Structure 1
Amino acid sequence: MRELEQFIIEAKAACYAGGGNHARVPCRTRSHDILHERNEFRYMDSYFGGTDFLGQEVVWIDDEPVWSMNYYGRIMDPTLLCGTRAGNIIKSALTALYREGRFLGGFVFQHADGEYRDESVGDHRSFRGIERILVNDRLAYQLDYQGGIIKP
């Protein structure tokens, strides 16, 4: 199982946070699909939207889906934060988190206007959490997520 968790961290770091390889043809109409592969492992982050967005990440081992996470994020107060700035903060925070060798919460990252917080319960096998960006101590962005192991 540790190899799966390490691959999840690797794929997340390479994809959204790292600018990843976008699929030339989306798997669903108007989806944004980011892909990462290594040996028998394959990962896809597929999402819809921009400032308000919904998505799902899946890991396959030898074409069998074994892990997934879904998420919904949105700008809570557009007077505090735009989508571009939120994306830059999130990428910086997640890059720092992945460097710690993990992808789940209990993480705080300071940015120029405030802080990014990620809180979760569980581990890669079963989890749920919330990601927030605070600007001047006010909630500007929030993402809710959940996921875990998939069994046939």
Structure 2
Amino acid sequence: MHDLSDFVAKAHRNGYATAQPDADEEQQGTVITYDRDDWTYRDHYYGSEAFLGSEIVIFDGRPVWGMSYYGDLISKNADRTTVYSFLRDALKQATSDRPYRGPPLFESAELTYRSSVTGDMHRFEGNELVGDEESTIYRGTFVGGRVG
């Protein structure tokens, strides 16, 4: 399980947080892949301001882990570019101890990211929030676990 957690954390740090998409067409969605040795990670999502997606990890040709997620800006005054750039910075903080999305708390001068998770790599669910001093401006949920 440690190898899986380590790979998922690396995939998150090298996926949406930093990578260029493989495809970006409205009907096709956006796909980001990350490969390392016998491991493959594929993130496929649709949308931009509000988005829905799924991730799958394949080891040695077999799907072994997956996650589904949904996120959206909940403030009409939020600057999409600023919020999602900050979200990418939070996702770069993924560790093998907590690979699901970002850390429990990540802060900049203007924004705060918070994430809570129930469960473990076998089965989990969680949520994430980005806010400024006044209110929550982004909300995301995620769920997943082992497959196969």
TM-score (norm 2): 0.89
How much has 1:100 moved relative to structure 2?
7.3
- Tell me whether 1:116 sits opposite 2:101 in the alignment: no
* Offset from partner CA, 1:102-150 (integer Å, 9 cap, x none): 3246611112223110111111211100010111241100000000000
May I ask how many residue pairs the two structures share in their alignment?
Answer: 147
Match of 2:49? 51
Which consecutive unaligned segments of at least 5 residues does structure 1 have?
A: none
CA distance in 1, matches of 2:133, 2:84: 18
Indicate how the Cα distance of structure 1 residues 120 and 137 shifts in structure 2: closer, same or farther if over 3 A, else same. farther
* Offset from partner CA, 1:72-111 (integer Å, 9 cap, x none): 00000021x222111111111122x225753246611112
Match of 1:129? 126
CA distance in 2, matches of 1:84, 1:126: 32
Match of 2:58? 60
Contact kept, 8 Å, 2:24 with 2:30, in 1: the verdict is no
Return structure 1 stretches of 4+ with deviation > 4 angstroms.
none
Which consecutive unaligned segments of at least 5 residues does structure 2 have?
A: none
How much is the aligned-residue C-alpha RMSD, in angstroms? 2.1
Match of 1:6? 6
Higher relative contact order (CA 8 A, sep 6+): 2
